[in-house]
Amino acid sequence: MNSTQPFRFGVVASQAPTGAAWLDHARHIERLGFDTLVTPDSIAHGLSVLPMLAAAATATTRLHLGTYVLANDFRHPVLVAKDATTLAVLSDGRFELGIGAGHPGTGPDNAMLGRTFDQPGVRVSRLAESVGIIRRLLDGETVTTTGEHYTTTDAHVVPYGTQPHHVPLLIGAGGTRMLTLAGQHADTVALGIPLDADADTAAKLIERVRDAERSRPVPAPAGASAASPTPAPVELNVNLMAVGDAVPRYLADRIDPTALAASGALSVVTGLPQDMADQLRDRRERLGISYLVVSEELVDAFTPVLRILAGE
């Protein structure tokens, strides 16, 4: 499916030696022209995601702020919805909620909380239930549920008199059930593709998202004579792992950007800034991938590419 969606660019960051350094970093990312600043969710590593984003909201005016992504098992969905509502208010509508079922690396964090790290099928089922509750709460509903994993009684999270903000939902997905869930509910799908995945591999995953997206119910018309609005297509996101020769430190001894590029891997872009911009345009045209994020270590390498594509 081709996409005419505009490009968006984000930075993934979770480290800061001081509060002042974090706020300076957020302002710097905004000045460079990036659209989002997103933070991963970890107990053992980095700073705590939600306070970091709340602080960044006070230091920026245009930059969108998001979780990339919350581990569903860490929090009850009512608390997630409450925090998301609060961050949407504090940022004047710039908060984007990213959530996922948890990757194998979150197992030790679950153990720190005294929780088992269940099999993928169980975690996906729990996430599906959680997403249903969160979306209803963010839409202003009062929710009472008794499910397999969660129970809520008269839950509501939007304070009376508060200006409600739509909170876009990003779901990180790689497996079949997750891709279907994301296609059914998310505004943005962060594709969990292997480092060496090429366009053909990604196209198969994306088609699952699009199949699920097509099964969404059509929104009811706003009035008796109004036509049903056409929802925006689900936005597709990829986290770039290398930009030219630049690689994050944690991947420096694990990947060869040149070899990955030669194999057609979507996790890298190579060449001069114009070459990299052309590669990303081609991926948007062929696959619909329009939202790219990079590690904070790749910001300098990627900014020239951003400036070319932002000129569109």
Please tell me the distance from the alpha carbon of residue 115 to that of residue 111, in angstroms, as a whole number.
5
CA atoms within 13 A on the CB side of 12: 20
103: burial class by Cβ within 10 Å (0-12, 13-18, 19+)?
A: middle
Q: What was the pLDDT predicted at 222?
A: 45
pLDDT score of 224: 44
DSSP designation for 298: G
Identify the three-state secondary structure at position 308: helix
Closest C-alpha to 72, from 111, 114, 125, 108? 125
Q: Look up the pTM and report it.
A: 0.94
* Spacing of C-alpha 180 from chain mean position: 16
CA 112, CA 107: separation in Å to the nearest integer? 9
C-alpha span between 43 and 106 (Å, rounded):
9
164, amino acid identity: P
Q: Strand 143-146 and strand 151-155: pairing?
A: antiparallel
CA 265 – CA 270 distance, rounded (Å)? 11
Task: For residue 122, give the amino acid letter.
Answer: V
- Cβ pair 240, 7 in contact under 8 A: no
How many C-beta atoms lie closer than 10 Å to residue 170's C-beta?
A: 26
DSSP type of residue 294: E
Report the largest interatomic distance among the alpha carbons of the chain, rounded to a whole angstrom: 61
Confidence at residue 312, expressed as pLDDT on a 0 to 100 scale: 63
pLDDT, block means (10 residues), the chain with 312 residues: 80 95 98 98 94 98 98 97 96 97 91 95 98 96 97 94 88 97 98 96 97 82 49 93 94 91 96 97 97 97 97 72
- Predicted pLDDT of residue 1: 45
What gap in Å lies between CA 109 and CA 106, rounded to an integer? 5
- Determine the Cα–Cα distance for residues 38 and 18; give it in Å rounded to an integer: 18
Produce one character per residue of 123-142: b if its CB has 16 or more CB atoms within 10 Å, e if not.
Answer: bbbbbbbbbbbbbbbbeeee
